[in-house]
Amino acid sequence: MLAHIVYFELNDPTSENINALVAACNEYLSGHPGCVFYGTGTRAEQYNRPVNQTDYHVALHTIFESTEAHDAYQVAPRHLEFIAKFKSGWKSVKVYDAGIVKA
């Protein structure tokens, strides 16, 4: 399996913009073939320990059944449309891909 985790930092992090990005993730990035887990949400601000990263506003967590499923997602029309429509609002995007083994 492959975990694909993305952290979005917004140019203008108002509550409205943050909630709009979460809604857009749900619309464009959920339900792709081969995705066995999908979740998105906002930073849990109550966790502000020295080890916590705080330079993002929205997190996307997806787990794909295979690298092939992930690779198909990367070029899927809904995924590409999401990027084209919303990238202008992102100050930064951090992507973490990791191979995982289910215990």
How far CA 32 is from CA of 3, 39, 42, 80, 81, in Å, comes to 14, 12, 21, 13, 14
As a whole number of Å, the end-to-end CA separation of the chain is 12
At residue 40 the predicted structure's pLDDT band, cuts being 50, 70 and 90, is very high
Residues 48-89: tens digit of each pLDDT: 899 988 899 999 999 999 999 999 999 999 999 999 999 999
Range of the domain at 20: 2-99
Number of domains in the chain: 1
CATH code, domain carrying 26 = 3.30.70.100
**101: pLDDT strictly greater than 90:** no
Query: According to the model, what pLDDT value does residue 102 have?
Result: 77
